[in-house]
Amino acid sequence: MFIGVDLGTSGVKLILVDKDGNIHHSVTKSYPLIIPASGWTEQDPNVWLEETVEGLKEIVRGHEDHIQGIGFSGQMHGLVLLGEDDQVLRNALLWNDQRTVKEVEYLNNQIGLETLLDETGNIALTGLTAPKVLWVKNNEPEIFEKISKVMLPKDYLIYKLTGVFASDTTDTSGTLYFDVKHRRYSEQMLAILGLNETMCPKIFESDEVIGIIKEDIKKTLSITQDIKVTCGGGDQSMGAIGVGVVEDGHCSVSLGTSGVVFVANDHFSIDTKSYLQSYCHANHHYMMMGVMLNAAGALKWWSEQIFENFDYQDYFKKISFAKPDEDLYFLPYLSGERSPINDPYAQGVLYGLKLHHRKEHLDRAVIEGITFALKQTFELIEKLGSKIETIKITGGGAKSEKWAQLIATIFNKKVERLQIEEGPAFGAAITAMVGCETYPTVKDACQNIVKIKDHFLPEQSLVELYDQKYQKFIKIYPTLKTLQNEI
């Protein structure tokens, strides 16, 4: 039996899985978000550890003698700082913390995009780890001077449970002080931040065994045998492993609050125009992804806040009564946007309203607009050389057959849904299986474990219509942006 642990933003999820991928038990422990100021988000790493240990106690109960390995997944980009005594110096700064605007401007403009791309393969964004390090250096120098160890959220759990100061290539790729192409720390970026490599964890691949659970933790869990531990990886890579996106050109589209287009690549590539994120993947190769800030989140806003309709089955049923309208468009940029346009000031828009439009026409336009924006990111990745034939959709939005069909038609690709979707915790458990040599590689594990539930093919009668509409959609934002700059 294997355990997958996913340290999320609202809670930690643990699953107990057998070698065939069957889920025997699932436990979730929640913890609060700390918001010291508007746009700031923090959490106490000690609470993460407490809740994870409590979750482990529950999930191993009755299976104590059968646990072989544990793999980890975690929210990416967070900053955890420890002092010489291994005590937490301050609350962790999270991936969605927005306090680092000045630091991002400094990195992108003063250090320069060319240097960042050469050293890391990515540019600075407010969510990444390096700008957070600079923020602490600039605003809390008394804390910065005490730093002994710098780590990511899940790595704190691993350190406390194993005593091993370790991280993995996928999660560290999102720090902006890691040379993604060569899978090593960037000496130049560490120097810019005022850090050195001794402060950073040793880097492993996601499926490598980094150590075993400490004796005191084993005692707490009533376990006597050694339990092997793999680092696993960042939640996006682990989520992709959990749905079998492991081979070159394999693609997943996550329809959560945000929308993530994730593509596995055998070779490293950089996007120098739209600045999609290029990271290491858990299959020992690479991946590229674009994150859209509001996917199902835009649908939730439209349905619940505007119309107070919480019945999504009713929502998707009604859009069937409205044919695609070639003149009605929705731009889902309700919180600015990261991918595909990288504009924090972008705004949401309903364009082309006429007297004959009813609510179901607007409902359809909202779903189309979200899907068009996802396709725009998808096309950017394809243009960089990825050959993609099939898309696996995940997240809450994947429950809708109508949305799955719309994605197949608008993308003009085969779309698949999965029998079991347990998210990043499942991917973390798969890395534990490989670490314990139950499977030789992540690819082998996924081929044996991940199963497809159903699939959708493009509705050919609508493919050309939607392609024409999509071409108009991508022209609206730059046109309105010009007007926005003039107002």
- pLDDT for 427 equals 96
- Average the pLDDT over 317-342 and give the result: 88
Q: Mind listing the pLDDT tens digit for each residue in 361-418?
A: 999 999 999 999 999 999 999 998 888 999 999 988 999 999 999 999 999 999 999 9
Q: Which of 6, 97, 168, 235 is catalytic?
A: 235
Distance CA 365, CA 294 (A): 15
44 included as an active-site residue? no
Q: Mind listing the pLDDT tens digit for each residue in 141-180?
A: 999 999 999 999 999 999 999 999 999 999 999 999 999 9
- pLDDT for 205 equals 98
- pLDDT for 375 equals 97
411 three-state secondary structure:
helix
User: Which whole-number Å values give the CA distances from 460 to 21, 212, 401, in the listed order?
Assistant: 36, 54, 17
Task: Label each residue of 129-140 as H, E or C.
Answer: HHHHHHHHHHHC
Confidence of residue 233 (pLDDT cuts 50, 70, 90): very high
Q: Retrieve residue 434's tokens.
A: 């490989």
| Strand arrangement of the beta sheet that strand 69-74 belongs to | 23-30, 11-17, 2-7, 69-74, 228-234, 209-212
Looking at 283-348, which runs of residues are DSSP E strands? 286-292, 329-331
- pLDDT for 182 equals 97
Confidence of residue 467 (pLDDT cuts 50, 70, 90): very high
- pLDDT for 126 equals 87
Distance CA 9, CA 275 (A): 25
